[in-house]
Amino acid sequence: MSYVAVVDDEEQVRKALTRLLLASGLDAESYACGKDFLGAIAKRVPDCVLLDLHMPGMTGLDVLHELRRSRRTLPAVVITAHNEPEAREECLAAGAVAYLCKPLDDRVLLNTISASMRRASGGHAIPGER
Amino acid sequence: MDVHSASQRFLGLTARRWRTGAVPGPLAQMLLVAVGYYAAARVGFAFTLQPNPISTLWPPNALLLAVLLLAPARAWWWLLAAALPAHLLIELQSGVPTAMVLGWYASNCSEALIGAALVRAFAPGPLRLDSLRKAGLFLLCAVLAAPLLSSFFDAALVRLIGWGESEYWDLVQRRFASNVLAELTVGPLILTWATFSSARLRAATPARYAEAALIFGGLFAVCLVAFDLPQIDARAAPALFYAPLPFLLWAAVRLGTPGAASAIALLTVATIGGAVSGLGPFTDRTAEDTAREMQLFLIAASVPMLLLAVALEERSRAEREAHEQRLQLTHLARVAMLGELSGGIAHELNQPLTAILSNAQAAQHFIANKTGSPQVLSEILQDIVLADLRAGEIIRRLHTLFKRGETQFRPLDMNTVVGEVLDIARGDLATRSVDVRRHLGESIPAVSGDRVELQQVLLNLVVNASEAMSAGTAPGRRVLTVCTGTEAGMVKVSVIDSGPGFPAEQHERMFEAFYTTKAQGLGLGLSISRAIVRVHNGHLWGEANPGGGASFHVTLPAA
């Protein structure tokens, strides 16, 4: 079963997205900030991460930079409640596989996660993917 | 302006009533002028001290002049024509030759026309006694010039026709004094009440009605004692003249120009009414002297009261306008600031919307897969409700801020206001990656203030700090600290940022209107914020932090 991490400082959003992923047959874990997530990946590396862009302290972009610094090739889907074209370019340049605006439609979100995991695994089927 | 709308104005009736047909047409107005002229002439005859041939107060001319001042010039002729039947009816009863009756009609109309034309030349449109300039113009043109010029004409006609024995200059002097007093008494009464808004009467509190009753009741009682009782001791006369003064002043200060004009009219009627009946302090002399002395007394008492009432009303209107402009500007600045925050607001609204959508879709998946227990579905529904309530609260707060309203002072907890402001700015602070820290003092006394205006002040400080940090500080170091506490009996709120700060020369300049360092901005936020805080009897100032960044402090007196 694929494991997806959700990093968002908004508790309501974090909870709802985690629920949606679980309901869709994926394993999911949520984190309230970038630091908690980066600390957790030492123990268990997710197959994909949903990363909120605007978080106090460490932003989603900071997390992407940190992942790149630590040479982790983890597919990251950036999600944001405030769409900015420049931010999109920055995130994609920093290694994000997709940039989605909230509110998130389940089909778009699940297809994006599925596609990014497929790309990361070199086109092989993802365990647990339906 | 056509005849209908002009007549509508001078009758002081509203456009709504005109549309519903409640305003009399031109014919009905002519009838009103005729009836008014007739009644005014009856009063004039009643106020004639026999055997003095000229009334102490002759109101018909003043009535005509006031009507012309409210009507458009093209309506003047038919309004004057309306007075002719009434004039003929009353004058022909007194056995005066027809030539003299027509002569007096001509001189009466000439007074109204001269006064109205002179006033209209300097103050176009219907005259409202709402400024010292217009009141001065009315006194000079309608009260002084019109009676004076028409009295030369009137006396010449009397001598030409050969009516009576009086000398030309004697006639001029007596008619002039009688008409000056009438213009001063009747003119302001008609002008102020015809243009008085009925909404003001409806808006008056019961206490204001009681005050008006006290003023007019007191004035009536004093006039009765001073001017309408047999004079017991002639030495008390000078003191009696001053007895109505407190009530006249009270009316002028508290009831505006309609109140002052009504009080002057009451004083005039009581004084002349008493003298005509042989009562009051003006009885121990000839009819001629009595009339002259009463006229001088009433003119001397009326002019300052009228001017005082107008000056006070003008000042009160200027204050109302300044207050209204401040409210408008404050509202505009608030709306502009919310415009700047639109990105952050969208962010803030999208969060609960995301929670609602994802929760609902998760429930759909659970139901489709038959994996969702009733407890899980119940939790989902509960979270949807919470997110929906949150979105509703954001919209409610925004609606309150967007709305324009009067300043309303209520006891406020500044910790709550700080919380509301940070909630509104949360989206903006999040999109700028600003870390917010709250150091809210415990048991802070309440302040007396307008919630929306104080929210505006703090929101302005928070947004300024957020923008300053966003422009000049790295994302990880953007820290906004909001502190509340008490200092020297005042409630203090401080908004501290870790931005680039500001140079010393901007210390006071940034509170000036239209001073801004932003590429996009009106430069009104801080000046309006300081004005709002001043209205709350508080202070707002800013200072550069020693270690970098800026601090803005608001102090407000405890309620």
pLDDT, tens digit (0-9, with 9 covering 90-100), for A11-55 = 999 999 999 999 999 999 999 999 999 999 989 999 999 999 988
Confidence at residue A83, expressed as pLDDT on a 0 to 100 scale: 82
Does residue A63 register a pLDDT over 80? yes
Confidence at residue B166, expressed as pLDDT on a 0 to 100 scale: 81
Task: Determine, for residues B354 and A22 on separate chains, whether the beta-carbon distance falls below 8 Å.
Answer: no
Confidence at residue B76, expressed as pLDDT on a 0 to 100 scale: 93
Does residue A127 register a pLDDT over 50? no
In terms of Cα–Cα distance, which of B106, B180, B126, B173 is closest to B9?
Answer: B126
Confidence at residue B15, expressed as pLDDT on a 0 to 100 scale: 38
Q: What's the average model confidence in pLDDT over B108-114?
A: 96
Residue B371, min C-alpha distance to chain A (Å) = 8
Chain A residue with the nearest C-alpha to that of B436: A56
pTM of this prediction exceeds 0.80: no
Does residue B12 register a pLDDT over 70? no
Out of B346, B390, B476, name the one closest to residue A57 (CB).
B476
Task: Determine, for residues A12 and B383 on separate chains, whether the beta-carbon distance falls below 8 Å.
Answer: yes
- Mean pLDDT for chain B overall: 88
The mean-pLDDT minimum among A119-123, B93-97, B494-498 falls in: A119-123
- Mean pLDDT for chain A overall: 89
Task: Determine, for residues B347 and A54 on separate chains, whether the beta-carbon distance falls below 8 Å.
Answer: yes
Q: Cβ(B298)–Cβ(B266) under 8 Å?
A: no
In terms of Cα–Cα distance, which of B441, B435, B502 is closest to B466?
Answer: B435
At B19-34, the pLDDT tens digits run 444 446 788 888 999 9
Phi (first) and psi of residue B542, to 5 degrees: -130, 155
Beta B490-497 vs B479-487: how paired, if at all? antiparallel
Chain A residue with the nearest C-alpha to that of B362: A20
The helix or strand, by DSSP H or E, that contains position B484, with its residue range, turns out to be: strand B479-487
Please give the C-alpha separations between residue B264 and each of B175, B190, B491, in angstroms, as whole numbers.
20, 12, 51
At B257-300, the pLDDT tens digits run 999 999 999 999 999 988 888 888 777 777 788 888 888 999 99
Residue B235: band (very low, low, confident or very high) from pLDDT cuts 50, 70, 90: low
Confidence at residue B24, expressed as pLDDT on a 0 to 100 scale: 60
Chain A CB within 8 Å of residue B425 CB = no
Q: Cβ(B327)–Cβ(B144) under 8 Å?
A: no
Out of B354, B366, B436, name the one closest to residue A16 (CB).
B354
Q: Cβ(A23)–Cβ(B366) under 8 Å?
A: yes
Q: d(Cα B383, Cα B510) in Å, to the nearest integer?
A: 45
At B30-46, the pLDDT tens digits run 899 999 999 999 999 88
Task: Determine, for residues B355 and A105 on separate chains, whether the beta-carbon distance falls below 8 Å.
Answer: no
Tell me whether residue B197 is exposed, middle or buried, using C-beta atoms within 10 angstroms of its C-beta: 0 to 12, 13 to 18, 19 or more.
exposed
Q: Who contacts B339 (Cβ-Cβ below 8 Å, separation ≥6)? A: none
Does residue A128 register a pLDDT over 80? no
ipTM of the complex: 0.92
Chain A CB within 8 Å of residue B388 CB = no
Tell me whether residue A61 is exposed, middle or buried, using C-beta atoms within 10 angstroms of its C-beta: 0 to 12, 13 to 18, 19 or more.
buried
